[in-house]
């Protein structure tokens, strides 16, 4: 990915993007040939890196956005670096696990495969995942899908469609591993949900073009569907995981 879609909303991205189930990282660490080093590629503001560090001696977390990296929580064993996914600068055969959380669709392909194979140790593991389509209540879901599928739909580009299709169309040329299914659940009030929706790349582009917050177009209806806006509701996500070995 050459475009830095999320630079204008880096603080919001760090605040509103959901985190991932700890069971996922426990599983991935158990599959890796060692626990010395993990590379979290396209780390964003470090959501996955912050969990990986509980299982690995060192985590290298790279992203092309200085704005997002500046929002990451510092940790003595996480090295945050500005680096392209295709040219990480990581030494060859040094990494036990590569992870890409909700970003592989931006740069998947033969060049990324080559970089992954270069940095991974023999029998190293790569795991990529995405999440989509929050399930809250039927009334709320109808409105979030209206924003996603109608209001900002013209601003989604081809890589986003790979997420919509559950990563089935993702280029992933590694020996596949049949991974378990993991539940991804967040807890949000209405402001958090609306804040998350504003971090969609399509929402950012809609606002830039029209000067109008697309989430505001359904705010009143969301208020009615949600009830008390400070009420915290469980949010269930569709987590799409692909795991492979070199």
Question: What pLDDT, on a 0 to 100 scale, did the predictor assign at position 15?
Answer: 87
pLDDT at residue 6 above 80?
no
Residue 5: which pLDDT band, with cuts at 50, 70 and 90? low
Residue 13: which pLDDT band, with cuts at 50, 70 and 90? confident
Q: What percent of the chain has pLDDT over 90?
A: 91
Contacts of 153 (CB under 8 A, 6+ apart): 202
Residue 8: which pLDDT band, with cuts at 50, 70 and 90? confident
Q: pTM for this structure?
A: 0.92
Question: What pLDDT, on a 0 to 100 scale, did the predictor assign at position 190?
Answer: 98
- Bigger pLDDT: 33 vs 238: 33
Helix%, strand%, coil% for the chain, nearest 5: 40, 25, 35
Token pair for 57: 């001696």
Specify the 3-state DSSP secondary structure of 163.
Answer: helix
Question: What pLDDT, on a 0 to 100 scale, did the predictor assign at position 138?
Answer: 97
Residue 117: which pLDDT band, with cuts at 50, 70 and 90? very high
Among 48, 2, 41, 57, CA closest to 21: 48
Dump pLDDT digits (tens) for 206-241: 999 999 999 999 999 999 999 999 999 999 998 999
Q: Which CATH number fits domain 7-245: 3.40.50.150, 3.40.50.300, 3.40.190.10, 3.40.50.12780?
A: 3.40.50.150
Task: Average the pLDDT over 139-157 and give the result.
Answer: 97
Question: What pLDDT, on a 0 to 100 scale, did the predictor assign at position 4?
Answer: 62
Dump pLDDT digits (tens) for 92-103: 999 999 999 999
CB burial of 4-43 (b: ≥16 within 10 Å; e: otherwise) equals ebbeebbebbbebbbebeeebbebbbebbeeeebbbbbbb
Strand partners, 139: none
Residue 30: which pLDDT band, with cuts at 50, 70 and 90? very high
Where are the chain's structural domains? 7-245
Task: Average the pLDDT over 19-39 and give the result.
Answer: 97
Q: Report the alpha-carbon distance of residue 94 to residue 48 in Å, rounded.
A: 19
Q: Report the alpha-carbon distance of residue 85 to residue 97 in Å, rounded.
A: 15
Dump pLDDT digits (tens) for 171-184: 999 999 999 999 99
Torsion of CA 92, 46, 148, 165, to 10 degrees: 30
Residue 11: which pLDDT band, with cuts at 50, 70 and 90? confident
Q: Average pLDDT over the chain, rounded to whole?
A: 95
Task: Average the pLDDT over 44-63 and give the result.
Answer: 97
């Amino acid at each position: 990915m050459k475009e830095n879609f999320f630079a204008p909303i880096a603080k919001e991205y760090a605040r509103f993007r959901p985190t991932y189930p700890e069971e996922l990282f426990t599983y991935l660490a158990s599959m890796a040939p060692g626990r010395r080093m993990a590379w979290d590629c396209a780390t964003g503001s470090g959501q996955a890196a912050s969990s990986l560090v509980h299982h690995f001696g060192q985590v290298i977390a790279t992203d092309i956005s200085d704005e997002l990296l500046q929002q990451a929580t510092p940790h003595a064993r996480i090295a945050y670096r500005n680096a392209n996914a295709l040219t990480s600068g990581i030494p060859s055969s040094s990494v036990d696990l590569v992870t890409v959380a909700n970003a592989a669709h931006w740069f998947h392909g033969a060049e990324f495969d080559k970089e992954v194979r270069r940095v991974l140790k023999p029998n190293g593991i790569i795991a990529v995942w995405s999440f989509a389509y929050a399930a809250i209540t039927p009334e709320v879901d109808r409105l979030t899908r209206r924003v996603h599928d109608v209001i900002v739909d013209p601003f989604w580009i081809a890589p986003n469609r790979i997420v919509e299709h559950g990563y089935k169309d993702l280029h992933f040329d590694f020996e596949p591993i049949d991974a378990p299914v993991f539940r991804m659940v967040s807890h949000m009030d209405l402001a958090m949900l609306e804040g998350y929706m504003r971090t969609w790349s399509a929402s950012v582009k809609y606002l830039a073009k029209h000067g109008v917050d697309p989430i505001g177009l359904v705010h009143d209806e969301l208020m009615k569907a949600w009830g008390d806006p400070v009420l915290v509701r469980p949010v269930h996500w569709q987590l799409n995981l692909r795991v492979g070995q070199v």
